[in-house]
Structure 1
């Protein structure tokens, strides 16, 4: 079983982190470890390769960074758990669909540990609440880039955020899509204590552990057949 390193990078400027992801992937060798970076960003909008700038409704004073992941526009900010997956998919024997499935399953599993029910939606990558007053609201977004058989970018899970910047965009290209965080969804620990922004490290580490477990379950027997994009 190929190990995956987990690196807690804390609060980091998005553009710097993006440059470092690209450099890490470009300089990969056959022995470069697979890594998950856990990051929190200052406020920033990011627009994917095929993103339509019209989905940025009111930028205000929040910067926009154009990036090379799939998907449309999203927001990153304090109180959000971001996990970047820097993986050699060929070596792991993972296809892109299996990677997406693993990411979404890990988010659903993580939310379930905090008594939040969530689900996938066909044709709309990410994770959505499956019940309660905010059923259908998006709580996690994902976007990936595959280069020479290796992945970067990843998934963002809203923990305890100022959600107002999401009203300045059409989240992921969907006009009027409600976006929530774990606090809004009523997330609680097993003891019954509500989660808050101080739980960032615990939630991020739980998500990383769930990602590793899901990725290891999906490893294929024939790595040479995996992602080639």
Structure 2
């Protein structure tokens, strides 16, 4: 696949470019992986509910809200967060959407291992989570600490939001490295009220986003191969 490290780029033109690339591709179009950061923006998925944006008053501090055609609810993108957009032909690669999501999550887990952080899946809630109190513990997450609160003790460090059109993917994933987390307090992240959102810096791991972007790119190329 062709890998493009885009640096910091505005969200809406990037979304439009992904959509145009996917609509124009043919069975012979090489797959691509776009890796970037975005200026502050809230993005809503197809099923996104306006009430999940809790606080975004007019004025200089207002963050744009962009309606998209990806799955999922509202999330936040901003500097210090790695965003990766795999533009793939799943039919040519030979696997389906459920396995695609698993492979995306596995690439994130492997990337976190690079900085000794253990990432976990939570059933029914795509993305990757960490034990906030001990993000370096290797013990598997076997069941929720509290069945009434599947996220108790956990923080979300990476989010997924994908779109598949005619077997071809766009949108993708975000991994929080070292960013201003306060905008997440203005929303119900991914539609979950009170869900804690963390980045690696808040876990005590300080790494340059550009360094980790290279690691993530490597693991995505490996895990998304046929």
Instruction: Map residues 81-100 of structure 1 onto 2, 5 A cutoff.
Output: 81-100=82-101
> Could you say which residue in structure 2 is the equivalent of 1:79?
80
Instruction: State the secondary structure of the residue aligned to 1:125.
Output: strand
Alignment gaps of 5+ in structure 1: 188-193, 220-229
| Secondary structure of the structure 2 residue equivalent to 1:120 | strand
Q: Find the partner of 1:175 among 193, 196, 208.
A: 193
How far apart are residue 30 of structure 1 and its match?
A: 1.6
RMSD: 1.1
Q: Distance in 2 between matches of 1:102 and 1:185?
A: 24
Whether contact under 8 Å (1:120, 1:128) holds in the other structure is yes
For normalisation by structure 2, the TM-score amounts to: 0.88
Matched, 1:137 2:155: yes
What is the rounded CA distance, in whole Å, between the counterparts of 2:43 and 2:134 in structure 1? Answer: 28
1:205 is aligned to 214
Q: CA shift at 1:55, angstroms?
A: 0.1
Aligned to 1:108: 109
Following superposition of structure 1 onto structure 2, how do residues 157-196 of structure 1 map, counting pairs within 5 Å?
A: 157-187=175-205, 194-195=206-207
Q: 2:56 aligns with which of 55, 59, 63?
A: 59
Tell me the SS of whatever aligns to 2:178: coil
**In the alignment, what sits opposite 2:139?**
none
State how far apart, in whole Å, the 1-side matches of 2:49 and 2:30 are.
35
Q: Secondary structure at the match of 1:109?
A: helix
Q: Provide the C-alpha distance between the structure 1 equivalents of 2:133 and 2:118, rounded to a whole number of angstroms.
A: 9
Give a deviation string over 1:63-111, Cα, whole Å, max 9, x none.
Answer: 0000000000000000000000100111111200111000001101101
Runs in 1 of length 4+ with deviation above 4 angstroms?
Answer: none
Q: Is the 8 A contact 2:70 2:161 kept in 1?
A: yes
Which moves more between the two structures, 103-112 or 132-141? Answer: 132-141
Partner Cα distance (1:125, 1:96) in 2? 13
Give, in angstroms, the shift of residue 181 of structure 1.
0.4
- 8 Å contact kept, 1:89–1:149: yes
* Partner secondary structure for residue 184 of structure 1: helix
Partner secondary structure for residue 206 of structure 1? helix
8 Å Cα contact 2:132/2:155 also seen in 1: no
The residue correspondences of 1:8-87 to structure 2 (distance < 5 A) are 8-60=5-57, 61-87=62-88
Count of residue pairs brought into register by the alignment:
205
Alignment of 1:139-158 (within 5 A): 139-158=157-176
What is the TM-score normalised by the length of structure 1?
A: 0.87
Q: CA deviation at 1:117?
A: 1.2
Does the CA contact (< 8 Å) of 1:117 and 1:131 recur in 2? no
Gaps of 5+ in 2: 136-152
Name the counterpart of 2:143.
Answer: none
